[in-house]
Amino acid sequence: MIQEKIKKLIQDALKNLGLEIKEIFLEHPVDLRMGDYSTNVALRLGENSAQKIAEELNKNLPTEVEKVEVAGPGFINFYLNKYFFQDSIKKILDDEGFGKNQLHNNKKIMVEYTDPNPFKPFHVGHLMTNAIGESIARVLEYSGAKVFRANYQGDIGLHVAKALYGLVKKPEEYRLKNETLQNQAFFIGKAYVYGAEAYQIDPEAKKEIDEMNKKIYNRSDPELNDLYDWGFEATMEAFEEIYKILGTKFDYYFLESKMAILGEKLIRENLGKVFEESKNAIIFKAEKYEPTLHTRVFVTSEGLPTYETKELGLTEVKFEEVGDLHLSIVITGNEQKEYMKVVAKALSLIHPEHASKMLHITHGLIRFSDRKMSSRTGDVVTGETLIEEVKNKTKGNVEVAVGAIKYAILKQSTRGDIIFDLEKSISPEGDSGPYLQYSYARAKSVLVKATKENLFPNFNELPAEVTETEKLLYRFPEVVLRAAEEYEPHHIANYLIDLARAFNSYYGETKILDTKDIYSPYRLAFASAYAKVLGKGLHLLGIEAPERM
């Protein structure tokens, strides 16, 4: 890598001057005119050492470096020359693994995300978790990790009873077994909304639903069982359809009902040590170990395991299922952050070797610029509705619709809420997924046209001029590495949009008909490299790269 070479160069220069510094920081200046790499060592050494160091560096520059300059308050800037860029184009085209790194070399990492509950609608929040999770999974794969994608789903609990209540009370409205799978699932979701509302406003219904919940739990009512089995299958199958559209394929499906067993076993084993009884419930007083945490109930006074217990069981199951698991990542909304810390603390007292391998990544909500997110009844905007709506605006192209939504989510760092603006998300120019897809298709079409005219890339030719795109292309592996280190796909999204803009403005200045210029062998090689990097970048975001648009 070129950075290492430059760092070594600086080190040698410093040694010759009798200077010393702990670590050399090398960065890309914000402005390309300020060089390709820059170091601040002189600033930290002080006493206008910049000139001296630069002189020393200039004594023997390697072939890749054009010149070294001192600028600003004492930065030393390195300018790479056309031989370097010629070579990097070559590397991009030759090396299938371009962009990959060895950060997690052969380590096993499980990423849990999406987590929609059977019997409930797949809402836009699931879309967000999915987009982030899938992208992180792919970035980790590029870092050499063996990634296992996991989905954790609540197959029992009050929400199921609420849905079944709706299905029992209004079968003609919600129980549509002859409909398409998507519609069946859609109306089961509606039944849930109906049940949830009844549970809140009607004490009679609440009693009935609670009763049903118990029956579901011990499977004592055959009729209810049939209804459950049908509903479970229909919603789970419908989810699969959505995963296909989103480009996700899970390796593991964990069901909440199964996790309770192992969780409760752990609780029993550690009762009196970690957990204690209080008011008939089993609780964990996390504040005893960490003053910023709080108490949480793990088993209710009714004897039922709570989510905390199941989460405990789930974590253990993950380490059992995948031997030698190096890291277990869970992606959820921000609201789960606090209690997850408590669960992690509890686990650290039981199996510290597992607790240290948990990583919880949280994100905010999707909000809409043009409407309210949801009513208090939980009748939310579903994932399909949103995809469908965007699709209608993109000439029926699902790939573009999904790309638009995913990019809108991934272009900013996780943590905060995102504001989804439909018009902006599909803008073919501007800061959008379709812009990247269009840009990719455009580069591809240049290549297709060239092939038709029997023109071929030749990366042994030298660039006539080094453009901004080339100055960005070779940075791709660095960007991927940073995204992997920080678990932040938005670094990639932001990089790609810069790259695409640079490329489009470069090609935009050239008249397409002027074949002599635009189809010169070098520029074709350059366009190929661009298409390749952009294609890889889109893959890392989980966005389809269309050959034509």
By the criterion CB under 7 A, which residues form the site for RNA?
25, 27-31, 34-35, 38, 40, 43-44, 71-73, 75, 77, 117, 154, 157-158, 256, 278-281, 283, 292-297, 300-302, 304, 306-307, 310, 334-339, 411-413, 415-419, 421, 424, 427, 429-431, 490-491, 494, 497, 501
Closer to RNA by Cβ: residue 372 or 452: 372
Nearer to RNA, 26 or 181 (CB): 26
Q: What is the DSSP string of 379-419?
A: -BPBHHHHHHHHHHHTTT-HHHHHHHHHHHHHTS-SSS-EE
CA 155 and chain centroid, separation: 25
User: Which letter, b or e, does each residue of 131-155 get, where b requires 16 or more Cβ atoms within 10 Å of its Cβ?
Assistant: bbbbbbbbbbbbbbbbbbbbbbbbb
Minimum distance of RNA from residue 171's CB (angstroms): 25
Burial state string for 344-374 with b = 16 or more CB within 10 A and e = fewer than 16? bbbbbebbeebbebbebbbbbbbeeeeeeee
**Which C-beta is closer to RNA: that of 133 or that of 457?**
133
Closer to RNA by CB, 329 or 502: give it: 502
Write out the two tokens for 163: 């849905």
Q: Kindly give, in sequence order, each residue whose CB lies less than 8 Å from that of residue 481, ignoring residues fewer than 6 positions away.
A: 101, 103, 143
Report the residue number, 315 or 520, with the smaller CB distance to RNA. Answer: 315
Taking the complex as a whole, the smallest distance from the CB of residue 25 to RNA amounts, in Å, to 7
Q: How far is the CB of 220 from RNA (least distance, A)?
A: 19
12-14-20-24 Cα dihedral, nearest 10 degrees: -70
Q: Which is nearer to RNA, 357 or 411 (CB)?
A: 411
How far is 535 from 543, CA to CA, in rounded Å? 9
Residue 43 CB partners (closer than 8 Å, separation 6+): 50, 73, 74, 75
Tokens at 176, concatenated: 């549509």
Q: Which helix (DSSP H) or strand (DSSP E) does residue 282 occupy?
A: strand 281-285
Task: List C-alpha distances in Å: 231 to 208, 227, 239, 451.
Answer: 19, 6, 12, 53
CB of 498 to RNA, least distance (A): 8
Of 254 and 459, which CB lies nearer to RNA in the complex structure?
Answer: 254
| Smallest gap from residue 460 Cβ to RNA (A) | 31
CB of 47 or CB of 204, closer to RNA: 47
Contacts of residues 56-61 at CB distance under 8 Å and 24 or more positions apart, as own/partner, are 56/13, 56/16, 56/17, 57/9, 57/10, 57/13
> Please, what is the Cα angle at 175 between 173 and 180, to 5 degrees?
105
Q: At closest approach, how far in Å is the CB of 476 from RNA?
A: 14
Residue 248, helix vs strand vs coil: coil
Element (DSSP H or E) covering residue 428: none
Kindly write down the DSSP assignment for every residue of 169-237, as one continuous string. H-HHHH--TTS-HHHHHHHHHHHHHHHHHHHHH-HHHHHHHHHHHHHHHHT--HHHHHHHHHHHHHHHH
| Number of Cβ within a 10 Å radius of residue 111 | 28
Give the nearer residue to RNA in terms of CB position, either 147 or 484. Answer: 484
Q: Which amino acid is at 329?
A: I
416: which 2 tokens? 């905060």
- Nearer to RNA among residue 77 and residue 86 (C-beta): 77
Q: Shortest approach of RNA to residue 206 CB, angstroms?
A: 12
DSSP single-letter state for residue 427: -
Smallest gap from Cβ 151 to RNA, in A, equals 13
Nearest approach, Cβ of residue 316 and RNA (Å): 17
Phi-psi region of 24 (alpha: psi -120 to 50; beta: other; left: phi over 0): beta
Closest distance to RNA from the beta carbon of 546 (Å): 21
The answer to whether the beta carbons of residues 526 and 85 sit under 8 Å apart is no
Provide the minimum distance between the beta carbon of 272 and RNA in the complex, in angstroms, as a whole number. Answer: 15
Q: At closest approach, how far in Å is the CB of 545 from RNA?
A: 21
Pick the closer one to RNA by CB: 392 or 505: 505
Report the C-alpha gap between 286 and 274 in whole angstroms. 9
43/349 with CB nearer RNA: 43
